[in-house]
Chain A
Amino acid sequence: MSLLARMAWRNLWRNPQRSLLSLAAIAFGVTLLVFSVGLQIGGYEQMIGNTVRLLTGLAQVQRPGYLDAPRLRLDIPAARDLRARLEAGLRELAPGVVVAPRAQSFVLLSSERRSLGALLVGVDPRAEARLSSLPGTVHRGRYLRTGEEVVLGAALARNLGLAPGDEVTVLGSARDGSVVATVLTVVGVFESGARELDRSLAQMPLATFQDLFAMPDRVHALVLGEAPLDALPELVRRTRALLPPDPPLAVLTWEHIEPGVKQAIEMDFASGWLMYLILVLVITFSILNTFLMAVLERRREFGVLLALGFRHGRLLRLVLWEAALLTALGVLLGMALGAALVAYFAVHGITFEGMEVYAEQFNLPPYLTPKLTPFVLFSGPAVVLAVTLLAALYPASRVRAVDPAETTREVG
């Protein structure tokens, strides 16, 4: 180690209290930064994962415009072939990929007690069981198999006064304009936790749905799921390449289908920045203060170094090295502590008062699990390192004002 490096290192410990205090401030700030970014990113992934898994899937193939104006006739023909083709074509990218066909229509559901509007979705029960968490939330009766059956959201069933084993009348209009009027048996009631779904969603086997609504081999959506989140862009690209040219079909991602989730994430991320900014500023000022004092105290010493033949530039580098050492030490300490915290809570989860209400609204489980990613570990510390070094330029630049003729004259 060169003498200059030794000087820089030892200078840090000339005033151990001050340096330790600065070190603690940096380490604490960085710990907080790593932990909160980890919490944020972990929360988002949970939120996205739950949204995607509940019903939406990673992406859906639909007719363009169907999402905004879901008309029955805006459907995908030859659905069975297309589904098989997608499954075969995407398996290389995501071996577990599921392509779930869905057809849907708004209908009137009637019990003896009352009638309510609902969204009736024809599904492939086996595909749904793999792709969607909804079948798992059936808490009374069972999920769909085949034939003239239906499962209802818990609130919908309650409002209609229906329980598994009861019958419900469906009133709607088919693809050809004829009236749909039939009776289905309620086999199960699900409670997904998503209020909107539990109040207005009903599912039935797709084949029966297609018969009833006069749309054989036609669906409204092919839902893609069970592929890694980070493979999404590639999934979309490959899916597009597999689609037939006519009629035109669109591949919509979950962000497109559930813009609310994406917006909530973006808003939350934006509000997080303010806190991070404040944290970084606090850290920066602590460094600034430490080094301003250090430089002012050592003017005489700097004067001697200049008399020995140091140039101002070398003194500046010396002070910057000291700042860099202290900051790097604090940042490393903070990264280690932050990573340890994140790792611990990634396993154990964090929960706090009032979280359930919020969690339900955003489709989250009632606990948070932070996540350790390179972004989480490095983004905050990198900013702290850059900003503090930039800030240290100011006290360091004060060595330029040191006049050796003046400072070496002063005695005592």
Chain B
Amino acid sequence: MDALVTLRAVTKTYRQGEVDVPALRGVDLDIAAGEFVCLSGPSGSGKTTLLNLIGGLDTPSGGHIQVAGRDLARLSPGERAELRLRHIGFVFQAYNLIPVLSAQENVELVMELQGVGAAERHARARAILAEVGLAGLEGRRPAALSGGQQQRVAVARAIVSAPDLVLADEPTANLDSENGRRLLEIMRRLNGERGVTFVISTHDPEVMAFARRLIRLHDGRIQADERRDGPP
């Protein structure tokens, strides 16, 4: 099977003043289309760095990264933006949404950039918001939504254009366990029904329970990579 994401000997070293801070120390990883991957590890182990590299938000210090058949190192910044727009969805820990846009508009924004017509945009945004349990709240601005609702809008926005890959960096970290579980269930369902690949970072054991594949990072290295079968 062709891998959707391929990392080979990827390293990332940040320079902080005079000191080199190694964040990733040589990561080899293949993620196939349709996987539901959980990236775990203690704080500072390199989870965010790894997601940023896969999403092309940052460039590695060494090694190669391929996403959807493209070598990221060969892409111009504009082409990387295009890759994110068409193939990758992001969900961050918090403040994902554009505060001046309603939930509906936040979801439509990406589609507008992609050139989707207004009517289709509108219908698709409504449908996906209903799917994440936000029917009736489409017109609310982020400030009028709870943290859990905001994260669900972010997931809806990430998924609405049927990307190949959704990268979620500790999406439940700011949520209570009830809302966290709900968000994860939604992502699992979207993974199952639509075949969208998810890579979710967390250090929350409850999240790891949802994983079909659990990758443990430690000090910038992959410490363990386990696969499990069947839904939890």
Where the two chains meet, the residues of A that have a C-beta atom closer than 8 Å to any C-beta of B are 2-4, 6-7, 10-11, 14, 300-301, 304-312, 403-405, 408-409, 411-412
B78 at the interface (CB under 8 A from A): yes
Q: Are A3 and B112 in contact (CB under 8 A)?
A: yes
A310 touches B81 (CB 8 A): yes
Contact A411 B100 (CB under 8 A): no
Contacts A7-B98, A304-B96 given; indicate if A311 touches B77 (C-beta within 8 A). Answer: yes
Residue among A3, A301, A409 facing the most chain B CB atoms (10 A cut-off)? A3
Q: Complex Cα distance A310/B98, Å?
A: 13
Say yes or no: B101 contacts A408, CB within 8 Å. no
Chain A residues within 8 Å of B96, by CB: 304
| Complex contacts, A307 vs chain B, CB 8 Å | 55, 57, 84, 90, 92
A7 touches B113 (CB 8 A): no
Interface string of B167-204 (1 = CB under 8 A from A): 00100001000000000000000000000000000000
Interface string of B132-165 (1 = CB under 8 A from A): 0000000000000000000000000100000000
Shortest distance from the beta carbon of A372 to any chain B beta carbon, whole Å: 38
Contacts of B95 in A (CB 8 A): 300-301, 304, 411
Tell me which residues from 49 to 69 in chain B have a Cβ below 8 Å from any Cβ of chain A. Answer: 52, 55, 57-58
A308 touches B94 (CB 8 A): no
Give chain A nearest CB distance to B94 CB in angstroms: 6
Considering the chains assembled together, what is the distance between the CA atoms of A309 and B81 in angstroms? 4
Say yes or no: A309 contacts B84, CB within 8 Å.
Answer: yes
Q: Which of B30-38, B103-111, B215-223, B224-232 contacts A (4 or more CB under 8 A)?
A: B103-111
Is B93's CB within 8 Å of the partner chain A? yes
Interface pairs (16), CB distance under 8 Å: A3-B101, A3-B108, A4-B112, A6-B101, A7-B101, A10-B101, A301-B98, A309-B81, A309-B82, A310-B81, A311-B77, A311-B78, A311-B81, A312-B77, A408-B57, A409-B52
Is B208 interfacial (CB 8 A cutoff)? no
A142–B94 Cα distance when bound, in Å, is 92
A306, B99: Cβ atoms under 8 Å?
A: no
Contact of B109 among A3, A404, A408 (CB under 8 A): A3
B40 at interface (Cβ–Cβ under 8 A)? Answer: no
Contacts of A409 in B (CB 8 A): 48, 52
Provide the residues of chain A in CB contact with B55, threshold 8 Å.
307
Question: Inside 8 A of B58's CB, which chain A residues have their CB?
Answer: 403, 405
Which 5 pairs, one residue from A and one from B, show the smallest C-beta to C-beta distance? A309-B85, A10-B100, A405-B58, A309-B84, A405-B57
Q: Is B124 an interface residue (CB 8 A)?
A: no
Smallest CB separation, B72 vs chain A (Å): 13
Contact A306 B105 (CB under 8 A): no
B86 at the interface (CB under 8 A from A): yes
A309 and B85 CA atoms in complex are apart in Å by 4
Give bound CA distance, A7 to B105, whole Å. 10
Q: A6 CA to B99 CA in the complex, in Å?
A: 12
Bound Cα distance from A97 to B14, whole angstroms: 85
Tell me the B11-46 residues at the A interface (CB within 8 Å). none
CA distance A411 to B174 in the complex (A): 10
Q: Is the CB of A404 within 8 A of B57?
A: yes
A contact residues around B110 at 8 Å (CB): 308-309
State how many angstroms separate the Cβ of B155 from the closest Cβ of chain A. 13
Q: Contact check, B98 vs A304: say whether CB atoms are below 8 A apart.
A: yes
A114 to B166, CA, bound (A): 108
Q: How far is the CA of A408 from the CA of B96 in the complex (A)?
A: 8
CB pair A306 B57 closer than 8 Å: yes
CA distance A311 to B94 in the complex (A): 22
Q: How far is the CB of B169 from the nearest CB of chain A, in Å?
A: 8
Residue contact A306 to B81, C-beta cutoff 8 Å: yes
Q: In the complex, how many angstroms separate the beta carbon of B160 from the nearest chain A beta carbon?
A: 11
CA distance A7 to B77 in the complex (A): 24
Cα–Cα, bound, A307→B157 (Å): 12
Q: Is the CB of B109 within 8 A of A405?
A: no
A205 to B84: give the CA distance in the assembly, Å: 93
Question: Which residue of A is nearest B48, CB measured?
Answer: A409
> How far is it, in angstroms, between the C-alpha of A411 and the C-alpha of B90 when the chains are bound?
15
* New A-B pairs, 14, CB < 8 Å, besides A6-B101, A312-B77: A6-B100, A304-B90, A304-B96, A304-B97, A305-B98, A307-B57, A307-B92, A309-B84, A310-B81, A311-B77, A405-B58, A408-B52, A409-B52, A412-B94
CA distance A47 to B14 in the complex (A): 72
CB proximity of B173 to chain A, nearest CB, Å:
8
A405 partner, pick from B52, B100, B113, beta carbons under 8 A: B52
| A7 surroundings in chain B (CB, below 8 A) | 98, 100-101
Cα-based distance from A308 to B52 in the complex (angstroms) = 12
User: For the complex, what is the distance from the CA of A401 to the CA of B86, rounded to whole Å?
Assistant: 24
A10 closest partner in B (C-beta): B100
A306, B174: Cα distance in complex, Å: 22
Is B78's CB under 8 angstroms from A301's CB?
A: no
Cβ–Cβ contact B112 & A308, under 8 A: no
A95 to B185, CA, bound (A): 89
Complex Cα distance, B129 from A42, in Å, reads 62
